[in-house]
Structure 1
Amino acid sequence: MSHTVVLAPVPYAWFVDALAVVRSLVEESQAKGRRLILPDGQVIPDVRLTRGRHLRPGAEYLISDEDEREAADNGGGREDAKGMSSGETATIRLEEWDRRRAVRLALAIAADDGKVDLHAVLQSPDHPRLVEVGGRSRFDGVPLGLSRLKGRVRLQLDDWWAAADTEGAAHSAPATARVDHRWARAEARAVPSPHRDGHTSGWDVRVTLSLRGRGLLRPLAAVALGVAGRWIRRSVARTLDDLAETWNATVPGLVAMDREGMRAALTDRPSCA
């Protein structure tokens, strides 16, 4: 199947600036005990340094809603904090932090009903070229043996903007994703191009999805996928449309921010602009 959505554009220069703001905030933060402190003295909420030295390879961070639960127990914080019971936590292990070479992270997300393990790399953060994310998931109570999946996402940033901002056709898909199950494999390819309708500018992003069986059960999986194909196509198209709607409602306000505005938004402080 193939489905096209229209997305509000993100200038490459703004994307680089946004990464620089995030990186500078992280690099300017300091560890005091297990807590992380921003230069202005603010404590970064819900994050704890649990192992190693801050921003050194091997450092591990725990992200949870511990602060909100503590605030609720003390009678403060959000009114609904006491009702939070998901038990979801995330552990980040820093493998590399080099602004010229790469940032590499291992992320483990644990919830009551399962776990997701991811490995992410951003090459050349100062001049970002490639993002790769791979991982595995395991969930409880999922039917048809779908409890275990593994996948990979690859985004070639240079090629993405080259295709999105020029009329020339992309030689290959700059964004690809694959999800493997023991019975089947799903592969998606996303190719952007300039959107021109005389009224709005943006990106036409065409997503192509292919499904096929794999392993010894390939014939049976092919039959099952054929029967479920129409539902899968509708579900994927609906999901892409919903994501595009959220993107288009959020991105224009973000790209209107300069570095100061982005930094203020990330630290939850009013901008001087």
Structure 2
Amino acid sequence: MVKLADHMRAAASAAAVFSALVVAAVMVGGAGALEPGGWLRAHATFYGGADASGTMGGACGYGNLYAQGYGTRTAALSTALFNGGLACGECYKLVCDRKTDRTWCKPGVSVTITATNFCPPNWNLPSDNGGWCNPPRPHFDMAQPAWEKIGIFRGGIIPVIYQRVPCMKKGGVRFTINGHDYFQLVLLTNVGAAGSIRAMDVRSSSSADWMAMAHNWGAQWHSLAYLTGQGLSFRVTITDGQTLVFPGVVRPGWRFGQTFASNLQFK
């Protein structure tokens, strides 16, 4: 019994030491290190001007972010986060990390942004001095109004902690169809919950079968069938695993360039 008790005390002591080491590693970890509560570390800069006009367009294909409802709470993601465009539409909550920088961080505030663009690497600059979006750094190049919610303008770059959060959207998912005959390029906007798309299928009014669509770029998926003018339904799976069917969301007689709003939304 004495030996067992000694063994248990030793095990408890080792566990305490291990826990302390884990906590220390969390507190001093570098970019991407896990913070208590599931937060991760990164850095953030800003672009696009005080009115965010320079953020329009971008690598997700959303075009005019004001018209699409994304406004000025947006960011371009570095390669480590962008995932080849599959992260488009995801929402992140960011807080300036005052444990690291008390000079340029605003205290007690957070901001939630939507991923709408890509921040490309700059291989001519080191990743710790200008090449902020170089792999493997997680980095947010935020619209200036969003960045200034948590950082002081003169700082330019701030350390942040961040986490994925559900996207809260009003209204239904929207589908914009571009392309030409035998090539339908469909842009999804206003996607709630996970915000980003894992898979997408299309079914025409002349068929009972679903056809898989392929990720093209940004938030856009394509099919290579002849579907021009036919009524279309879509089956969409977002990255948290939810699947919704949007029956007949695109009416017969549609034309390229039109947008169709559904009355369904991911929760």
After TM superposition, the score normalised by the length of structure 1 is 0.21
Q: Which has the higher contact order (CA 8 A, sep 6+)?
A: 2
After TM superposition, the score normalised by the length of structure 2 is 0.21
Q: Which is richer in helix?
A: 1
Q: Which is richer in strand?
A: 1
Q: Name the larger-Rg structure.
A: 2
